Amino acid sequence: MKELIIAALSAPNIIPTALLGLVVVYWITVMLGALDFEFLDFDIDAALDAEVEMDMSAAAETEVHAQMDISWFNSVLIFFNLNKVPFMIFFTMLILPVWIVCIMLNDYLGINSFPGGLIILIPSIFVSLFIAKILTIPFAHLFAHMEKEESESKSAVGKICIASNLITDHKIGQAKIKTSGSPILLNVITDKGNQLQTGESGLVIKYLKDRNIYLVAPYNT
């Protein structure tokens, strides 16, 4: 352990160690609630959705080239899952292998100078990008699932549902929303003072995220 600390703080490894230290401090402050999870995040989707409008003018050729440049950049972001996971998760999964690779290579090659460490750092980052891509795959699936659930919850609001059992303002029940395919089954409660009997119609008026249930009100068709 002592040897690892000495190696980590040595001149060739000081940059990856500093970056790892920043990552650790970031996650500690997030866990303590001092920083929001998205404090250092930025909108990758905005870059992915960016489009250059073509207007059949003298500047059309320039716009086409700009669109091609954006497309290339977007492809890189998509390849490394940056369109699927928050930036700081990807950055964490990048810096950790960079730190490990740098320490191992500098030790194996006997590099003990800062310039030599910089030379090793560049290929280490390149290799670690692909390692980060692999490490973020489970997170990409997790956030995709969360986004799907959030999207479904938002799409349910404003829809008409049919009570599957007795639903009151203090008794959670279930209700179905008819679709072209299988019906969507929701856990619901009514707004205060109301109730729905089995088979009655209700209007989904709100999603209670903290309880993962929907608020419905009686609806006369």
* pLDDT averaged over 10-residue windows placed end to end, the chain, 221 residues: 88 95 91 67 50 44 51 78 88 95 94 94 95 93 76 76 91 86 86 90 88 88 63
Of the candidates 86, 104, 78, the one whose C-alpha atom is nearest the C-alpha of residue 27 is 86
CA distance 220 to 47: 45
Indicate which CATH number applies to the domain containing 161.
2.40.50.140
pLDDT confidence of residue 40 = 57
Q: Which residue range forms the structural domain that includes residue 211?
A: 157-218
Instruction: Note the pLDDT of residue 145.
Output: 78
Total domain count for the chain?
2
Q: Is the dihedral of CA 71, 76, 78, 82 positive or negative?
A: negative
End-to-end CA distance of the chain: 71
Residue 161: inside a domain, yes or no? Answer: yes
Q: So what's the pLDDT on residue 19?
A: 96
Residues 216/189, Cβ–Cβ less than 8 Å: yes
55 domain residue, yes or no: no
Would the pTM of this model clear 0.75, i.e. be above it?
no
